[in-house]
Amino acid sequence: MIIVTGGAGFIGSNLVHALNAAGRSDILIVDDLEDGRKFANLATARIADYQDRTEFRQHLQRQSAWLKQAEVIYHLGACATTTEWNGRYMLDNNHAYSRDVLDACEFHGVPLVYASSAAVYGDSALCVEEASRERPLNVYGYSKLVFDQHLRQRMASLRIPVTGLRYFNVYGPREQHKGRMASVIFHFDQQLRESGKVRLFEGSHGMAAGEQLRDFVHVDDVVAMTLWAGTLTDFRGVLNCGTGEAVSFNAVARALIEWHGRGEIEYIPFPEDLRAAYQAHTRADLTAARSAGYDASFRKVEQGVRDYLDWLHR
């Protein structure tokens, strides 16, 4: 049995479909379907069972014996709303819940792969898995960092493999339910279809209009690395999961315009209330991931955008 928390979400549902493609359907999905629209991500997936996140947490805290049947737990469930400032809620969802998962995995000897985030780096342009580079700008990033720090404190005593993957700016199929938190590529596509324009921020953080930089990574590449992490037998720590390239929003917009064969870029004022909590430059340093044995390539953003738009407009 494979357990995927957040299995109806963006990365989680793509992971489930990839497992299906590999011949696995013995999958327990854990999620919160209060927003029932997420069901669409799993409508064509093959799974063994579904469990609400609250019920699953109770099993974790009771160290329920059936958990030891799990081959691996992919813990991808979290509150990923970066504009949420309720720290108590965020820390419970993203840290305390993860701690419960880790405790149960260690008790039953089950390998764990969990979702960390590039948000832990904040405004650090050099994104290396080192404490000196970790300075989150919002409570979401902090909630992810707290659990990464908790893992570091326990690594020497853990008997199970545990891999935290710091996902960068992920885009691709099955993110439509995320609303404002969907990728800029999803939103740019909607803007272009509705108005013929892609709206980018004017210059900020010392960068020209539309030249803010992010490491945009296609969800299929993220899933591939996540599945690889689930095969590790003697690794404990966090690894970056991104392409290793910083790409401007202008370049992303041009890729969309080229695919559509029409459109133009419009620059809009940078929101002042966002300035202090905005990552203007991210790029995954892949040195640690390569040293750990991950040798797969990541698609360039131009190819990734084409692949995604082909899926969106199929």
* Mean pLDDT of each 10-residue bin along the chain, 314 residues long: 97 98 98 91 97 96 95 92 86 95 97 97 90 93 96 96 98 93 95 96 93 96 98 97 97 97 96 84 96 97 97 94
Residue 296: how many other CB atoms lie within 10 Å: 9
- Same structural domain, 121 and 76: yes
pLDDT score, position 274? 82
**Do 133 and 195 have their domain in common?**
no
Cβ–Cβ under 8 Å, residues 192 and 265:
no
The structural domain count of the chain equals: 2
Tokens 């409508």 belong to 43
Q: What is the domain-level CATH number for residue 221?
A: 3.40.50.720
Q: Is residue 267 annotated as a catalytic residue, yes or no?
A: no
pLDDT, one tens digit per residue, over 13-69 is: 999 999 999 999 999 999 999 988 899 999 999 999 999 999 999 999 999 999 999
Please, which residues have CB within 8 angstroms of residue 121's CB and are 6 or more apart in sequence? Answer: 127, 133, 134, 135, 136, 141, 166, 279, 282
Could you tell me if 132 and 95 lie in one domain? yes
Choose, from 68, 178, 197, 300, the residue flagged as catalytic.
178
Contact predicate 36/60, CB 8 Å: no
**Does residue 141 sit in the same domain as residue 35?**
yes
Q: Give the residue numbers spanning the domain of 201.
A: 176-213+246-280+307-312
Helix pair angle (97-108, 53-61), 10° resolution:
50
Are 78 and 222 part of one and the same domain? Answer: yes
Active site residue 178: yes
Residues 130 and 194 in one domain: no
Same-domain check for residues 238 and 252: no
Given the residues 74, 97, 121, 140, select the one marked as catalytic. 140
206 and 240, same domain (yes or no): no
